[in-house]
Amino acid sequence: MAKSSKPKFDIAASITNELIEIIDRGVLPWRKPWKVGGSAVPLRHSGEPYQGVNNFLLTMRTIVAGYTSPYWMTLRQANELDAKIIKGSKSSAVVYYGTKERGRNEAASEAETDMEDPKSVPFMKSYRVFNADQIEGLRCP
C-alpha cells in the first residue's frame, strides 16, 4: 500500500498559528469578559460544557467571529438533527485526549514484551466543529 503524500494535520501547529493570528490583530479576546453567547462557556450540542484547551479555543473563536450561540457540533451531529451547515462556513478544530491500554502482544519493542501488565498509551485526536450560528435548520426542543 502506497503512503499518502498529503501531510498529516498538525493540530498543535494549527492552534498555535490561530493564536498568533489573533494576537497580530491587536485584539486580545481573553481580556474581555468570559461570556459566550449568553453562556459562560462553550457547550456541546448536548449542553455539556467543553473543558480544558477546547473551552479556551472555542471562547476565542466565538468572540473573534461574533457568534451569539455558545453551542458547537460536528457535521454529523448537525446532519442527524436534519440541519445543514451554511455554505462557506469554516469549521473549528478541537482536540480530544485519551489513553488506550496496549496489551503485551502489541508492545513496540522487545524490552516492553517482558512486561506482564498492559501499558497505558496516551493519544490526541482532533475533530472539527461548527458553531450553531453556522447551521441552518436547527430547531429548539
Cell numbers 458553531 label which residue?
A: 131
Domain around 29: 11-134
As a whole number of angstroms, the distance between CA 32 and CA 30 comes to 5
pLDDT tens digits, one per residue of 71-97: 999 999 999 999 999 999 999 999 998
Cβ count near 45 (within 10 Å): 19
What is the pLDDT at residue 37? 52
Burial 66-102 (b: 16+ CB within 10 A, else e): ebebbbbbbbebbeeeebebeeeeeebbbbeeeeeee
Answer yes or no: is 139 within a domain.
no
Answer yes or no: is 53 within a domain.
yes
State the total domains in the chain.
Answer: 1
* Reported pTM: 0.68
